[in-house]
Amino acid sequence: MSSLAYNPRSDHPEQFDSRLAAMRLAGSAMIAFGVFLSGFVMSEPAPYELIMVGQVAVWFLLGLKISRTVASLLVLLMIFNLSGLTTMFAMKDMSGAPMYFAVSVFLALSSVFFAAIVEDDHRRLSLVFKAWVAAAIITALLGIAGYFNAFPGAHVFTRYDRAMGAFQDPNVFGPYLVAPLLYLLHRLLTGPLVRTPLLILGILVLAFGIFLSFSRAAWGLLVFGGAALVVIMLLKERTTAFRFKILAIAIGAALFLVLVLAVALQFPQVSDLFTNRARLVQEYDGARLGRFERHKIGFLMAMERPLGLGPMTFGKMFGEDEHNIWLKTLTTYGWLGAVTYQITIWSTLWFGFRYMLRERPWQPYLMIAWVMILGHAIIGNVIDTDHWRHFYLLLGIVWGCAALEHRYRRSQAMNRRPAPPRT
């Protein structure tokens, strides 16, 4: 039966191959467009969700495969979300909960999708980061324009006198810009000098957008991410001359950013808000029933409720959300969800740590994504990253690169296997 099956390659192989190439090109373009839309989330559901839902369905219907490595990520994220769904049984008012978990499940599937398409073709990583840079620069410019009220109606790109670009919250806008900045920084450190002016200009726009978000988490993420990336690159490079080049350019870029910051602080509105936001502990952090005391109360409450409280319940009880991802997973996804989230994060960091110094075509992207995941785990102590779209993109990139490494090692092992003797 199979020998009689029609094979379109047999009649017109060139036409079939050209169609396949065109489909893959169109698919890659749609991936880039989806990533680009991640920089414009002013309402929910955003265009990003609408485009990505269709993409995920179409790609898997057309045969996108999931390897064992990516399947492990899928299992972890599904257990995490199924545990969250059980918290609805503990809720008296379930309004908003179904939509919350619908978004959670979508983000989980988007992470698995990005891991699968990265494993399918590592060259898509370059496309993903370039689309991310384009979106980040545009939304950063909108935030900067809004902060300085550059045109009528520009104030819609600010909140509480802080730049937020085409986002709903400055605390998401700022961290979103860090990974594209690290990508440009990596290209600046490793690329030809002829591209330096454009790369510096892009870095300045993103850095200024991060600064004007006045998000302490974003500031910390930028400092940590930039320093960590430079350290990893110094460990990776073997030649003294190249290490000196990286160190010299990194120090020069840091000094230049400090100079730009000093100029920006000459504006009174910038200086006043910076002085206020630069304090490590704000009044709403350390006050009675402030952020840190709510963390303590929340953890004690969660220890008594294995199913959790349910989404947004903590905020209704205390007037403020958890602002802590570890507490958030306990209250919203229950004990099982919190444990699964911990396993997901630590296994992601372990994979990245093991593989990021190996010479591979996807190494630069893995380094950046790993640094960002570690940075998000750190800032997660003071902020909630649960529904951050770019976080799930980074998660998918690390797992996709891990799947690539596992496939590479299997192919190397097969090549080293001796051929069977002829009979």
The pLDDT averaged over each successive group of 10 residues in the chain (423 residues) is 40 59 78 94 83 87 88 96 88 81 93 95 94 97 92 90 92 96 92 83 93 90 92 82 80 78 72 63 53 79 86 80 89 93 96 92 96 96 90 97 93 72 59
Q: Would you state the pLDDT for residue 42?
A: 83
Does 405 fall in a domain? no
| DSSP 3-state of 159 | strand
Six-digit token pair at 300?
Answer: 């004690």
Residue 81 domain-assigned (yes or no): yes
pLDDT the model gives residue 290? 60
Q: How confident is the model at residue 411, as a pLDDT?
A: 84
Query: Is residue 45 domain-resident?
Result: no
Closest CA to 391 of 76, 164, 175: 175
Residue 369 inside a domain? The answer is: yes
- Position 8 scores a pLDDT of 43
The pLDDT value recorded for residue 6 is: 36
The tokens describing 275, both together, are 């002085």
The C-alpha atoms of residue 156 and residue 84 are separated, in whole angstroms, by 34
Minimal CA–CA distance to 337: which of 172, 96, 101? 101
In a domain, 85, yes or no: yes
pLDDT at residue 240, rounded to an integer = 79
Per the structure, the count of domains in the chain is 1
β-bridge mates for residue 163, sequence order: 158
Q: Are 339 and 149 in contact (CB under 8 A)?
A: no
Residues spanned by the domain of 394: 75-104+295-400
Would you give the DSSP letter of residue 322? -
Residue 302 lies in a domain: yes
**Quick check: is 321 in a domain?**
yes
Q: Would 202 be classed as within a structural domain?
A: no
pLDDT of residue 5: 39
